């Protein structure tokens, strides 16, 4: 297990390095950089003095290589810089937002897994049945929904009309505030998981070893329990890992809609406030989180599938 862990961790380092470079490049180097682009847009006028200060702070007058070297050294020691707006360290700003974000993303993924996987499973066990058709029509509809519209409609129905749940905000951090955003965020992954699970189970049910299992004289339930579940799970788990990516993208929108104090809404606010260090920090954090999750998924994979451990 340990060498595998080491290898997987080593694997994410080049990607992470590339992301650091990209984030640096996007916001610090490109001609007509972020600061001026937002200014040209004409929505607000930044005080030239502020512009000047920003340029200084970012060291825009240094050569690119020097700036990049500085940037990398700072990040290597966990310093994401100082926010332009609040003058606080970006790490502190982000730290305050991580927990709500994690809560929302994991709640959404739990919802997606708890509903999507069994749904796909049932559909696959009875292909062509009513439940299969209903599940698959539901799944493709779920994939076609825009998260924030769904969120808006949920908000309208359950918060404003029925008044069952709070319409927005973090509240005391309890479950009641979490439900609507988590569902809005989870429906897309749920739909995809239902489809993937169905395809995976159908695949496995057609496998030769399932025919062997049947020829051993076991009930169909046993066949599924002993031989189909784990094999289908391998395929489903990969999807779960990759889904975290689009989930975190969508989380930005959902957090904004529900005024959820997470990293996503911090990112969007910082974009509008031209708070470049915070924008960079948020993006780096999101990418790191995605890579860590997928490394964990890889490890889960290894513990399920013996072929990877030895092969």
Partner 1 sequence: MSQSTPASATADIAVKRRFRLKGGLSLWIGGALVGLALVVAIAAPLIALTDPVMSANLMNAELPPSLEFPFGTDAQGRDIYSRIVYGSRISLTVGVVSQIVNSLIGVSLGLSAGYWGGLWDDLVSGLTNLMLAIPSLIFALAIMAILGPGLVSLVIALGLTNWSYSCRLARAQVLSLKSQGYVQAARILGYGDLRIMFTQLLPNMLGPLIVIATLGMGSAILAEAALSFLGLGIRPPFPSWGSMLSEARDQITTVPWLSVFPGLAIFFTVLGLNLLGDGLRDIFDPQATTRRT
Partner 2 sequence: MTVPLLKIEELRIALAGDGVAHNAVEDVSFEIGRGEAFGLVGESGCGKSITALAVMGLLRRPLSLANGRIVLDGRDIQGSSPAEWRRLRGSRIAMIFQEPMTALNPLSPVGKQIAEMFVLHKGASWSEAMDRAEEALRQVRVPSPERRIRDYPHQLSGGMRQRVMIAIALACGPDLLIADEPTTALDVTVQSEIIDLMAELCAAKGTAILMISHDLGLVSNMCRRVAVMYAGRIVESQPAEAIFATPRHPYTQGLVDSLPRLGERARHGRQRLREISGVVPSIASYPAGCRFNPRCSAATEICRRTVPGLTMLPEGGLVRCHHHG
Residue 171, binding choice from partner 1, partner 2, none, Cβ under 5 to 8 Å by partner class: none
**Position among 145, 165, 234, 302 found at the interface with partner 1 (CB under 8 A):** 145
SS3 89: strand
Q: Which of 197, 180, 285, 283 is nearest to 240 (CA)?
A: 197
Q: Can residue 91 be called a binding residue for partner 1 (CB under 8 A)?
A: no
Q: Of the two residues 175 and 212, which places its CB atom closer to partner 1 in the complex?
A: 212
| Phi, psi dihedral angles at 77 (to 5 degrees) | -95, 15
- Tokens 């702070």 locate to 57
Binding segment toward partner 1, per CB under 8 A, in 84-92, 97-105, 223-231, 285-293: 285-293
Token pair listed for 311: 């092969």
Binding segment toward partner 1, per CB under 8 A, in 73-81, 215-223, 225-233, 286-294: 286-294
Q: Residue 229: how many CA atoms within 13 Å on its side-chain side?
A: 8
Q: Can residue 259 be called a binding residue for partner 1 (CB under 8 A)?
A: no
Q: Can residue 156 be called a binding residue for partner 2 (CB under 8 A)?
A: no
Token pair listed for 128: 């062509």
**Position among 9, 73, 126, 156 found at the interface with partner 1 (CB under 8 A):** 156
82 - beta bridge partners?
89
**Position among 5, 96, 98, 143 found at the interface with partner 1 (CB under 8 A):** 143
**Cβ proximity of 305 and 237 under 8 Å:** no
Q: Can residue 222 be called a binding residue for partner 2 (CB under 8 A)?
A: yes
Q: Can residue 248 be called a binding residue for partner 1 (CB under 8 A)?
A: yes
Q: Can residue 53 be called a binding residue for partner 2 (CB under 8 A)?
A: no
Q: Which of 229, 300, 263 is nearest to 80 (CA)?
A: 263
**Position among 230, 249, 259, 272 found at the interface with partner 2 (CB under 8 A):** 230
* CA gap 198, 206 in Å, rounded: 12
Q: Can residue 26 be called a binding residue for partner 1 (CB under 8 A)?
A: yes
For residue 64, give Cα distances in angstroms to 36, 59, 283.
Answer: 18, 9, 21
Residues that bind partner 2 (CB under 8 A): 207-209, 211-219, 222, 226-227, 230-231, 234, 304-307, 310-311
């Amino acid at each position: 297990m340990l060498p595998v862990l080491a290898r997987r961790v080593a694997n994410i380092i080049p990607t992470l390095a590339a992301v650091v470079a990209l984030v640096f490049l996007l916001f610090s180097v490109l001609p007509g950089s972020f600061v001026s682009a937002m200014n040209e847009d004409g929505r607000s006028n930044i005080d030239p003095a502020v512009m000047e200060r920003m340029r200084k702070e970012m060291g825009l007058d240094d050569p690119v290589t020097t700036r990049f070297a500085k940037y990398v050294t700072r990040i290597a020691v966990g310093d994401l810089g100082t926010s332009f707006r609040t003058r606080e360290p970006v790490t502190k700003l982000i730290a305050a937002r991580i927990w709500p974000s994690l809560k929302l993303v994991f709640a959404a993924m739990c919802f997606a897994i708890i509903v999507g996987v069994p749904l796909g499973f049932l559909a696959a066990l009875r292909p062509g049945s009513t439940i299969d058709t209903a599940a698959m029509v539901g799944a493709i509809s779920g994939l076609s929904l825009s998260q924030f519209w769904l969120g808006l409609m949920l908000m309208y129905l359950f918060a404003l009309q029925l008044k069952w749940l709070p319409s927005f905000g973090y509240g005391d951090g309890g479950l009641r505030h979490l439900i609507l955003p988590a569902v809005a965020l989870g429906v897309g992954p749920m739909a995809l998981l239902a489809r993937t699970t169905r395809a995976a189970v159908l695949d496995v049910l057609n496998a030769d070893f399932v025919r062997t299992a049947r020829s051993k004289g076991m009930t169909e339930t046993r066949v599924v329990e002993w031989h189909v579940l784990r094999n289908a799970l391998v395929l489903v788990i990969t999807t779960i890992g990759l889904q975290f990516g689009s989930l975190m993208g969508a989380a930005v929108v959902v957090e904004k809609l529900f005024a959820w104090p997470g990293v996503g809404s911090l990112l969007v606010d910082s974009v509008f406030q031209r708070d470049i260090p915070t924008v960079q920090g948020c993006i780096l954090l999101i990418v790191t989180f995605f890579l860590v999750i997928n490394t964990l998924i890889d490890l889960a994979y290894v513990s399920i599938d013996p072929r990877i451990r030895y092969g």
